[in-house]
Structure 1
Amino acid sequence: MLNFAVIGTNWITDAFVKSAHASKQWQLTAVYSRKEETAKSFGEKYSVTTVYTSLDALAADKNIHGVYIASPNSLHYEHARQILAAKKHVILEKPATSTVAELESLFALAKENNVYLLEAYRHIQECNFKILRRALLEEKRLGTVMGANLTYASFSSRYTNVLAGEVPNIFNLSFSGGSLVDIGVYPIAFAVALFGKPKSQTYSPYICPTGVDGGGFITLNYGAFAVQINQSKCYTSTAPTEIYGEKGTITVNATTDIDSVTHWDPKTKQTEQLAGKKCELNLQEEAEEFARIINEGDRSVAEELERMSLDIIHITTDLRRQNGIVFGVEKS
């Protein structure tokens, strides 16, 4: 059983705690917030009375094995750096950091202190994503891949605030916000986990009044084929995700929370359902895998996830720079 603390008390933290407890491999033991009342209120839901308003005190707690960090994007680096320096494992919500240099330094610090830094791309840990990956890469269901269309576009209530003239964190350059790093990383991670790092990438975004991207269309160029991505926080798309090949088409209901993976065979004209039963808690499989990596000391899988995280931030950084999207931390 891994004792863990949380930094950040929003809905995603709540979801992770519930999933971690359901895995029976994690136990929440402490909560950090800048406001004591906020930490106490969150802890009460899980009968946790140890709360911190000091990161130094949290880092010094010898009863804690790891920390789940879901603070605002721009704070990830400093929070993770302090926890890793205290020789505790870190599960860092995506996007892990604002810049490539920050992420590289955190991975180096984790190795130096013999702990794990794991970025929380929970969807690639889903059982049905792994079924999809096996069908493509091991079973070669599609033969030669010819292209893909990936979709993750979901209207955010925070965009209503933007339209009202406000600047919520996720639409704020000072907080390293924007649709690309909040929503777009899901289909990008989806593609990288299946096909590796693309040769090049382009992005045609809609720029919000706050200066961040609200969504748009991404093309990942793999040389022999391309992946088109429709992602946004300013509108919703109900289009499925599709992957095309010489031996048919695989259709997935979404890039996250996958409950349907169908293969259409052009020879038989038949459609086969490949997906199994979806886990009820959508972060539980992630929690289970991260606990396994830590408890078994599985460096090979951890390094594979590290390479993927670095590939993704290189991609998103290039896409931002193509469109003049500069975070506050990059201006200092």
Structure 2
Amino acid sequence: MSQTLTWGILGAGNIAGVFAKGVASSKTGKLLAVGSRTQEAADRFGDKWNVPRRYSSYSDLLADKDVQAVYISTPHPMHAEWAIKAAEAGKHILCEKPIALNHAEAMAIVEAAQRNDVFLMEAYMYRGHPQIAKLVELIREGAIGDVRVIQASFAFNAGYNLDSRLLKDTLGGGGILDVGGYCTSLARLVAGAATGKPFADPTKVTATGHIGEESHVDEYTVASLAFPGGIIAELLTGVRVNAENEIRVYGSEGSLTIPPPWNPRAGQTTKVIVKRNNGEVAEHSFETEDLYGLEADTVAEYLAERQSPTMSWEDTLGNMRTLDQWRAAIGLTYPFEHPQGPDQHLPVHKRPLKVRPQSIMKYGRIEGVEKPVSRLVMGVDNQVNWPHSSVMFDDFIEQGGNCFDSAYIYGGGLCEKILGQWIKSRGLREQVVILDKGAHTPHCNPQALASQFLQSLDRLQTDYVDIYMMHRDNTDIPVGEFITVLNEHKNAGRMRVFGASNWSIERLQEANDWAAAHGMSGFSAISNNFSLARMVDPVWAGCIAASDPKSRAWLEKTQMPIMPWSSQARGFFTGRAHPDDHSDAELVRCWYSEDNFKRLERVQQMAKERRVLPINIALAYVLNQPFPTFPLIGPRQLSETRTSLPALTVELTPEEVRWLNLED
């Protein structure tokens, strides 16, 4: 067995006592300390479980240098804050389920563990029981043929005490987060085993449920999940209804049952029962060890890997994403998931935002914009809910980013609204650079531009934007009409500078010549596509690239800053593209070509030599041009932000830039 681990427990509730008992029966664990919100509670817990060190705060426990690993057993809404702080304190982490309130918070926790090089696992203790390993083995060897239907239930009637955490929305109550995650994780595990993977994520989640009029949480609910391979799952959970609490898996050649699977006690015999369609019945019996002791031993066993296959980081993130979808299907959100909710002026770690000391962000200048502009710009075109948006934006600020790109049409206006809410809640208006766009086709005319721009300012909750860009061009309208209305808004202080997205170089030059001739300001920046991969077919109608030699020569001559979209060719360099893989029709249509695959080969060669990701080389190509570039990136997950940033450290010579672009 692996090394001995010295444990501390954050929280002194019932589940903390269960884990304390488990550590005592483990082969590797020693319980040294407990932290609670009061000294009295810590002492009471310490006396009961013979814990030598008792702290009246979680912070004091994390400051104990002798504590190597922590078990976080606080109420659900506190998991993210203290898991992140534990990671920053260098402690290995076993966090009680659910690891967070939602997928966004879970991402923040995983990133903190990765950044601080500590172990992290979500505490679904049933996963460590040998009956689950047997379940997976039977599914993989085809004991019941092809898996078709999974049924899992975990529900209990906790009564109707509205002061109980189970029925308080401010504590993340309800069945889905408390016990529904067991059913979801089991279904994903079985579907994965059936399709040759560690786990599988559903392609569709539908559900019905009862949300209490007074509790405002899901008191009971049923979900239906569709998985690849034609597999479907039916999940039942609740805190105000009793269920059989068992697993049934139906296949083409039989069925499999585990009654009850979730929390067998030490010494209890459990069974996995297989019934074949031909009448054969096989029972596999197991005597249960303390599941919490097994969890502690699992942490020790996989400490060097920093995560365990029992419940890997990606498994946890997929599970939280599915739970989010389940809650969304029945219309359940928590107060913490709204901009006006408790403590929503702070990130999940509950500290004011500041740039991390290890930030590698670089900055440039755009004439007319008083603030330095981060060389990477975060695209705000897909963030449509508060938890995800705020976590993504907070992280970008902490990574050193300060420029955000959005547009009037994104999300029907929701993206602008969320960005504005976040900036206001964090008090960052004078620290961030807002790049906003409007006048998209078919509303590309001076009147629509003015009307939309005023709406955008209202959505963004600001009286100016740092950079405004026309989203499209309309060649039926003389450039002077556009330049005139843009100058009116600039002179009124509503925009510091303005530019154009998806304008041809000829029209850009014509517009700036007209502006100069009439004593007006011209375009200060552009936002066309620019990437190492040639855009074979426009991603959207009306899109224009500036990657061709003529455009690059103009940009170098004029030193016009470009803030290019799809700077990483929408995933072409991430490993998704291969000449024989046509599964992504849009990727194929827009980027597949013989010359682009030659560029990909060179990117992969250089990435191997530089020991970075291919995507970093592709993005470095944009950053190392002989004219100012501020590429837009569109991360959907925190890991995508993290893996984009090393491009800032890749220096390319002019010869290397030309070689990557097949100009050698």
**Alignment match, 1:199:** 203
Q: Is the 1:190–1:255 Cα contact (8 Å) retained in structure 2? A: no
Shift of 1:192: 1.4
**Alignment match, 2:49:** 46
Q: Is the 1:125–1:285 Cα contact (8 Å) retained in structure 2? A: yes
Q: Which structure shows the bigger proportion of residues in strand conformation? A: 1
Distance (whole Å) between structure 1 residues aligned to residue 72 and residue 308 of structure 2: 21
Q: Which runs of 4+ in 1 moved over 3 A?
A: 299-304
**Alignment match, 1:256:** 262
Deviation by residue 1:209-255 (Cα, 9 ceiling, x = unmatched): 31100111111111512111121111112264211111211111023
Tell me, yes or no, if structure 1 residue 176 matches structure 2 residue 199: no
2:220 to 200, 215, 219: 215
Counterpart residue identity of residue 290, structure 1: V
SS at match of 1:111: helix
Deviation by residue 1:164-222 (Cα, 9 ceiling, x = unmatched): xx332221121122110001111111111221111111121111131100111111111
**Alignment match, 1:31:** 34
Counterpart residue identity of residue 181, structure 2: V
Compared CA separation, residues 39 and 300, structure 1 to 2 (3 A): closer
Distance (whole Å) between structure 2 residues aligned to residue 62 and residue 194 of structure 1: 40
Superposition pairs of residues 1-332 of structure 1, within 5 angstroms: 1-137=4-140, 139-156=141-158, 159-161=159-161, 166-195=162-191, 196-208=200-212, 209-223=214-228, 224-238=230-244, 240-257=246-263, 259-267=270-278, 269-279=279-289, 281-294=290-303, 297-299=304-306, 301=308, 305-331=312-338, 332=341
Shift of 1:55: 2.9
Q: Is the 1:167–1:210 Cα contact (8 Å) retained in structure 2? A: no
SS at match of 1:182: helix
Distance (whole Å) between structure 2 residues aligned to residue 304 and residue 151 of structure 1: 20
Distance (whole Å) between structure 1 residues aligned to residue 232 and residue 327 of structure 2: 19
Shift of 1:308: 0.9
Q: Is the 1:118–1:302 Cα contact (8 Å) retained in structure 2? A: no
Distance (whole Å) between structure 1 residues aligned to residue 224 and residue 261 of structure 2: 16
Compared CA separation, residues 143 and 303, structure 1 to 2 (3 A): closer
Distance (whole Å) between structure 1 residues aligned to residue 285 and residue 204 of structure 2: 31
Distance (whole Å) between structure 1 residues aligned to residue 311 and residue 32 of structure 2: 29
Counterpart residue identity of residue 243, structure 2: S
Percent pairwise identity: 24
Deviation by residue 1:20-71 (Cα, 9 ceiling, x = unmatched): 2211211111111111111011111232231112333222211000110110
Deviation by residue 1:124-143 (Cα, 9 ceiling, x = unmatched): 11111111111112x21112
TM-score by length of 1: 0.92
Distance (whole Å) between structure 2 residues aligned to residue 177 and residue 253 of structure 1: 26
Compared CA separation, residues 320 and 239, structure 1 to 2 (3 A): closer
Shift of 1:299: 4.6
Q: Is the 1:175–1:328 Cα contact (8 Å) retained in structure 2? A: no
Q: Is the 1:23–1:287 Cα contact (8 Å) retained in structure 2? A: yes
Distance (whole Å) between structure 2 residues aligned to residue 302 and residue 277 of structure 1: 22
Compared CA separation, residues 72 and 301, structure 1 to 2 (3 A): closer
Deviation by residue 1:95-128 (Cα, 9 ceiling, x = unmatched): 1111222111111111111101110011111111
Q: Is the 1:151–1:255 Cα contact (8 Å) retained in structure 2? A: no
Task: Name whichever of 50-59 and 185-194 sits farther off.
Answer: 50-59
Distance (whole Å) between structure 1 residues aligned to residue 263 and residue 311 of structure 2: 22
Q: Greater RCO between the two (CA within 8 Å, min separation 6)?
A: 1
Distance (whole Å) between structure 2 residues aligned to residue 27 and residue 330 of structure 1: 37
Distance (whole Å) between structure 1 residues aligned to residue 175 and residue 169 of structure 2: 11
Shift of 1:73: 0.4
